[in-house]
Structure 1
Amino acid sequence: MKNFLWVLAATLFFTGCKQEREKQETAIVPASYTIEQMMDNENVGGGSFAPDNSKLLISSNRSGIYNMYTVPASGGALTPVTASDSASVFAISYFPEDSRKLFRMDDNGNEIYHIYLMDEAGSYQDLTPWEGARSLFYRWSEDKKSFFFASNQRDKRYNDLYKMDVESLTPELIFQNEEGYTLQAITKNEAYIALGKSINTNDSDLFLFEISSGKLTKINENLSANSAEDFTPDDSALLYTTDDGGEFAYLMSYDIATGARDKVAEKQWDISGSYFTDKGTYQVTYTNEDAKNAIEVIEVATGKPVELPAIEGMDVNNVGFSSDETLMRFYAGGSNSPSNLYVFNLETGQVTQISDVLNPEIAAGDLVKADVIRYASFDGLEIPAIYYRPHQASESEPVPALVWVHGGPGGQSRQGFNPLIQYLVNHGYAVLAVNNRGSSGYGKTFYKMDDLNHGDKDLKDCIAGKDWLATQPGIDGSKIGIIGGSYGGYMTMAALTFAPEEFDVGVNIFGVTNWIRTLRSIPAWWESSRIALYKELGDPYSADSVRLEAISPLFHTERVTKPLMVLQGAQDPRVLQVESDEIVAGVRQNGVPVEYVLFEDEGHGFLKKENQIKGYSQILEFLNVHLKEDPGVPIRDDAMEDGKLQSQ
């Protein structure tokens, strides 16, 4: 009997293996899409309901740059409200009692945001016109006659809290920030403000500030990561997240009158946010569940969960409510689908799709749904990652691959739609988006593992990801590159510099190359977190500078031997253009192929479709030549100017 079971099991095993091999050998060959087609997927964001619930105010990049639009809440065509062709425009909100609108705009990615008012006739004005100062909208006041916003116009280092009367349009200073606090929440009765204070990038203190008396009360009892989420509808208590005594952030309540602290909710992942709707009917809680949002909406009066609409093959990832709380707008999408906007009538249960953002020229089945995987790093630590395997990959036709590294350093690759990744996968490149040690979302122990160790063990995690890729069916282990933006760009350069034989090519998208300079030149408005950054990365004005120089690729460019591509925005306030200029010049001295794309009108991230099309198509061309060794379309040899590619 045992022999029979063994034979049966073996038969099933080998049959399964045969079927898997046949599946791999008969891989689907998807249609090949141009970058113009892929970037013609529309990106829609926001969603403020008009006072009468008839329309939504949203942002969309359908014009090639983000502008503000209105769309009927019952479905229909988008109507443009702004027509910017340079700076991106992002909708903030309808006014609570009329059709005036607030929106945000900076200057081509310099992150100096101003808040603008558009009147009912379509004229607009800058409500925060202070030179060199950035302003951020917080929320409307309880009586809807004013709104709160933060600005660093008084002191470029710190955000003060202001209240703007909507009739006089005169700002009133509510809280003068002299100690580098972060402004996190304010009670409806305007009696208290919740303030955060960074200690390091892992831990922060939380305070309750009484406006009338100036009394400051510390909320957390131990060293931990704490963040205010919202005050209860009756202003009696503060909800906040903390990881005190645990690996993941859970939700706590602090009673203002008694000082009592009570646990409200705890998950097996980080609770990343929680708030009450305007009238207090619902409580919305977000959990970062294995790199995607899990959303819970609770009816406060009954404690019962609201069943969110099910959209086939997609996850609900963001919700918002009308002021009367009868309608909920939500977004649903996935790794293989850009997010669409929907309206859910909470009274009738009707769901209306508002947007259809996938380019009709693209067959949804040609896009690749990612798998969440885990692999062992050099020291046995389990590393989470998101794996995109091209449809056309097979054992007989193995494909090249890329290790994708997120920004941060404490960021996280998420299970959302990424047009560049899908473009590369569509053209036959597997992508493994690693969440190396130091990434957020996997517990505080994992999060702090790269402190004062950047470019070492986190880089080894990426190399282990490359090694995992090389063992996968349908992957050509001899053709694996590395790509990333911001901190991921640094990791790309670190890989090519400090492990020059591990990866075959590197694509550095506005990555740090000189930590000493970057840490000394961080924007003034980061002052509240500057010391925390120094504790994680190193103080560039101390003996840490020796280590920072040692891990900065710029000082070791002679080690780079593999082809390199660099992309940069000239207006980037975080990673200055000189970082990319100098690394390109240094590596070129080695006689290594180097391509450089510079956009004069972009900052830390490329928002304009025209620039995305230029930059991303050139990434593919570079990879085709230097990784796939199948150029297809020849690399252009243009001058280094706006969106042009400078070749060796």
Structure 2
Amino acid sequence: MKRTLISGALWLGLLGTTLAQVPDNLVVEGIPLIPPEFKVDIARYLEFRGAGFSSWHPLKLEMLVTTRFADTPQLHLVKMPGGARKQLTFLSEPARGGSFRPKHGDVIIFAQDTGGGEFYQLYRYDVADRKITLLTDGKSRNTGPRWSKSGQWLAYTSTRRNGRDNDVYMMDPTRPATDRLVIQVQGGGWSVEDWSPDESQLLLLEYISINEGYLHLLDVPTGRTTLLTLKTDEKFAIGSGRFAPDGKSVYFTTEVADTGAAKRSEFHVLVKVDLATRQDKFFTGHIPWDVDEFEVSRDGRGIAFITNEDGVGVLHLMNARTGKEVPVPKLPLGIPSNLEWHENNRDLAFNLHSAKSPSDVYSLDVKSGKVERWTESETGGLDPAQFVEPTLAKLNSFDGLGISAFVYRPEPTKFPGKRPVIINIHGGPEGQSRPMFQGRNNYFLNEMGVAIVYPNVRGSSGYGTTFLKLDDDLKREDSVRDIGAIIQWIKAQPDLDGGRIAVLGGSYGGFMVLASMVQFNDQLKCGVDVVGISNFLTFLKNTQDYRRDLRRVEYGDERDERMRAFLERISPANHADKINRPLFVVQGKNDPRVPLSESEQMVKAIRDHGGTVWYLMAKDEGHGFAKKKNADFQFLATILFFREHLLK
């Protein structure tokens, strides 16, 4: 491991202290050693935790949730609103997606990978004796398990055949030897959406890109498929799908406004298609926002769905027969997600988080209107009422296009004067910054007096199909120019310091950080790149096989000479000589999406040109740090970096 000496005033402030040890699983280069006293000062901000809904028990009003008591999130049972969280799994890696067996509740299926590699394996947890059994091959990537209505069968997708294509498999998980291939497919974007009520069909989603997808009906006994949605020269996005409880129709979300005429809607609408007549019924065309998710009640009478309205999530309830909305009790302002109806058709579970609260699990009694909170996650002893809520800023970019950003400002009485700014750029690229709980980032606001700006540049989801496509293909750099507009907006604000601006982002947001430091080097103080793309050509070459074609659709096909030249030109690693501001690079060794080589070549390029770069790599992580001890070290190092290179 390489370490540089701490320079200047920071070094003087640390003389005489006992330096904290660096965990053996971390590679640390250029980062000053962190003293124990520093961690004590920040400790409360390291102890936030949230909870996420996983599954209702089919026979009782109890639920599975995922939360973290130690180093990784695990499955817990909660027996009543506000009840104790009883931990069920005690594993070194995160347990993901727990689901009770329908009609029985005696078995839980969950997924787990190793070291963040995302080669998920499916496991059976037997409630009676707590025994855990591996169900899949231990090597391939296995995702999206879906129980049949009776609880006998489990369908899922796997790359087992060739490491690239997401074929469909099924098994009786109480008898793993029954595992069998149902259908071979082409592409890594296939998923199992639902079983038909009679268990003779599977509803499959073929995801091509954020702008293109197709639903298929798979006949389980024969393996034959029937295309359910349009496939024309015009491409349309398709979201999740569900069978109606009577099996006669399918619900799904799409940007198609008229499936017969192939007319496009700017936003994702909820549609029901009759399987016999192929006639459509549109439910949400009057709402000028995307339907993010939906669930149909077990008896088919009610539909719950969530719209994304300028970044804020809004829960809706609708009568499935009439299509009319019914009143919903007012929820705390935030983002609901992960809907699931109980078998009783009365209780609806969901997650909710906001600027003032980490994710917690709630339920709504749709008959009485009563909302109950099942978990209350910890905030490290800090008062959530003191956490900052954002304001929404709207501005015009370089070409007059309207873009927006959520802005978190420190308390002005505690931090008067112009405040330094972190521009935190989302990934995706079709992600979206939303008014979410800031967690550890509250330290920047409450203790360092740093404002945080979360832009939604062109190409972000949530603002319509046209806006979503504005960074496609040869328009990739226009989204980087949007960051330039954000910088100019910051400079025009009386309470923000345009001379002290940093950029931070992960994954595609990491690319945006690097590209911004190339384009706007003289206007930035520093940047933090977390698992970011540094060269699109090497990224497309080295990303996992099952992802390559999916990413080509978004970023461009490097096999085309014109596109290859363009990707070569815009790749930040080829312009490292233009970056002379300090850079902090964070990477997981096992990242299947943005491979280790992307960060290593960027670090080398910066150093070859005499630049300042801190580098942190975790040997047991993938696309971001999931283990608390690693995330703690990353956060402490990030604070040191901003204290040294942003605040001064």
TM-score by length of 2: 0.86
Check conservation: 1:393, 1:474, Cα contact below 8 A. no
- Aligned-pair CA distance for 1:439: 0.9
Structure 1 vs Structure 2 CA RMSD: 2.5
2:538 maps to which residue? Answer: 517
CA distance in 1, matches of 2:624, 2:427: 11
In structure 2, the CA distance between the partners of 1:460 and 1:486, relative to structure 1 (3 Å rule), is same
1:248 correspondence with 2:267? yes
1:259 correspondence with 2:283? no
- Aligned-pair CA distance for 1:346: 4.4
1:491 correspondence with 2:512? yes
Q: Which amino acid aligns with 1:89?
A: A
CA distance in 2, matches of 1:241, 1:449: 22
Q: Which residue, 551, 555, 558 being the options, matches 1:533? A: 551
Check conservation: 1:452, 1:538, Cα contact below 8 A. yes
1:151 correspondence with 2:167? no
In structure 2, the CA distance between the partners of 1:55 and 1:237, relative to structure 1 (3 Å rule), is closer
Q: What pairs with 1:235-384 in structure 2 (closer than 5 Å)?
A: 235-244=247-256, 245-266=264-285, 267-300=287-320, 305=325, 307-314=327-334, 316-346=336-366, 349-359=369-379, 361-384=381-404
Q: Which residue, 552, 564, 589 being the options, matches 1:545? A: 564
CA distance in 2, matches of 1:270, 1:150: 27
Show CA shifts across 1:388-430 (max 9, x none): 1111378952110011110111111122213243232222111
1:92 maps to which residue? Answer: 98
1:112 correspondence with 2:119? yes
Secondary structure of residue in 1 paired with 2:239: strand
Check conservation: 2:53, 2:349, Cα contact below 8 A. no
Check conservation: 2:53, 2:350, Cα contact below 8 A. no
CA distance in 1, matches of 2:334, 2:41: 25
Secondary structure of residue in 1 paired with 2:111: strand
CA distance in 1, matches of 2:217, 2:43: 50
CA distance in 1, matches of 2:208, 2:144: 25
Check conservation: 1:569, 1:600, Cα contact below 8 A. yes
Q: Which residue, 574, 585, 589 being the options, matches 1:566? A: 585
Secondary structure of residue in 2 paired with 1:568: strand
CA distance in 1, matches of 2:374, 2:436: 19
CA distance in 1, matches of 2:475, 2:209: 16
CA distance in 1, matches of 2:346, 2:547: 39
Q: Which residue, 180, 184, 187 being the options, matches 2:196? A: 187
Q: Which amino acid aligns with 2:450?
A: Y
Q: What pairs with 1:161-180 in structure 2 (closer than 5 Å)?
A: 161-173=168-180, 175-180=182-187
Stretches of structure 2 lacking an aligned partner (at least 5 in a row): 1-38, 257-263
Check conservation: 1:208, 1:219, Cα contact below 8 A. no
Secondary structure of residue in 1 paired with 2:433: coil
Check conservation: 2:167, 2:190, Cα contact below 8 A. no
- Aligned-pair CA distance for 1:312: 4.4
TM-score by length of 1: 0.86
2:135 maps to which residue? Answer: 127
For this pair of structures, how many residues does the alignment match?
A: 593
Secondary structure of residue in 2 paired with 1:403: strand
- Larger mean Cα displacement after TM superposition, 34-43 or 206-215: 206-215
Check conservation: 2:419, 2:451, Cα contact below 8 A. yes
- Aligned-pair CA distance for 1:250: 1.4
1:36 maps to which residue? Answer: 43
In structure 2, the CA distance between the partners of 1:415 and 1:33, relative to structure 1 (3 Å rule), is farther
Secondary structure of residue in 2 paired with 1:57: strand
- Aligned-pair CA distance for 1:623: 0.9
- Aligned-pair CA distance for 1:300: 3.7
CA distance in 1, matches of 2:306, 2:416: 43
Stretches of structure 1 lacking an aligned partner (at least 5 in a row): 1-31, 630-648
In structure 2, the CA distance between the partners of 1:263 and 1:351, relative to structure 1 (3 Å rule), is closer
In structure 2, the CA distance between the partners of 1:147 and 1:368, relative to structure 1 (3 Å rule), is same
- Aligned-pair CA distance for 1:200: 5.1
Check conservation: 1:59, 1:69, Cα contact below 8 A. yes
CA distance in 2, matches of 1:167, 1:34: 50
- Aligned-pair CA distance for 1:116: 0.8
1:385 maps to which residue? Answer: 405
1:623 maps to which residue? Answer: 642
Show CA shifts across 1:333-371 (max 9, x none): 212321222344445554432222132520123211012
Check conservation: 1:277, 1:321, Cα contact below 8 A. yes
CA distance in 2, matches of 1:395, 1:166: 57
1:429 maps to which residue? Answer: 450
CA distance in 2, matches of 1:169, 1:305: 44
CA distance in 2, matches of 1:219, 1:317: 26
- Aligned-pair CA distance for 1:587: 0.8
Q: Which amino acid aligns with 2:107?
A: R
CA distance in 2, matches of 1:261, 1:40: 49
Percent identity between matched residues is 28
1:470 correspondence with 2:476? no
CA distance in 2, matches of 1:468, 1:369: 20
CA distance in 1, matches of 2:88, 2:75: 5
- Aligned-pair CA distance for 1:209: 4.0
In structure 2, the CA distance between the partners of 1:584 and 1:217, relative to structure 1 (3 Å rule), is closer
CA distance in 2, matches of 1:278, 1:148: 19
Check conservation: 1:33, 1:423, Cα contact below 8 A. no
Show CA shifts across 1:471-521 (max 9, x none): 223111111111100011101111112332232211101100011011122
- Aligned-pair CA distance for 1:558: 1.2
Q: Which amino acid aligns with 1:289?
A: E
Check conservation: 2:274, 2:280, Cα contact below 8 A. yes
